[in-house]
């Protein structure tokens, strides 16, 4: 994994935790082979971004992210998917040193 993907992955993890998007103690899914086929296909389409997933045995939380822009502060385009592989929401998030993650734009 290139360094830019690793840093994007760390930023995505930070965003998801800050949003309390997944319940505490839900383990991460590290390998695409552990995902259902509809989500596994989403892992292949990210050349410059990354994906993260978590599962509790009954539900899978799946998010992709790509760094965008040339801002001094990190900016992510994050997409949130349901278990059928449909994008349910997406947003542009900026991490501010003073206030944390700020939603800049969104669409459903």
Q: What is the pLDDT of residue 4?
A: 55
CA distance 84 to 91: 20
Q: pTM for this structure?
A: 0.88
Domain ranges for the chain: 3-107
Cβ neighbours, 10 Å, residue 76: 26
Q: Is the pLDDT of residue 30 over 80?
A: yes
Residue bearing tokens 């700020």: 102
User: Using 50, 70 and 90 to split pLDDT, how confident is the model at 1?
Assistant: very low
User: Using 50, 70 and 90 to split pLDDT, how confident is the model at 102?
Assistant: very high
| Chain length of the chain | 108
pLDDT in tens, 32-90: 999 999 999 888 766 678 999 999 999 999 999 999 988 788 999 999 999 999 999 99
């Amino acid at each position: 994994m290139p360094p830019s993907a690793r840093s994007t992955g760390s930023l995505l993890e930070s965003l998801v935790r800050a949003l309390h998007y997944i319940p505490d103690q839900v383990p991460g899914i590290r390998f695409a082979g552990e995902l259902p086929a509809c989500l596994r296909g989403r892992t292949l389409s990210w050349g410059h971004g990354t994906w993260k997933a978590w599962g509790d045995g009954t539900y899978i939380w799946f998010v992709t992210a790509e760094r965008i822009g040339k801002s001094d502060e990190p900016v992510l385009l994050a997409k949130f998917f349901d278990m059928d592989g449909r994008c349910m929401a997406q947003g542009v998030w900026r991490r501010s040193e003073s206030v944390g993650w700020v939603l800049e734009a969104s669409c459903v």
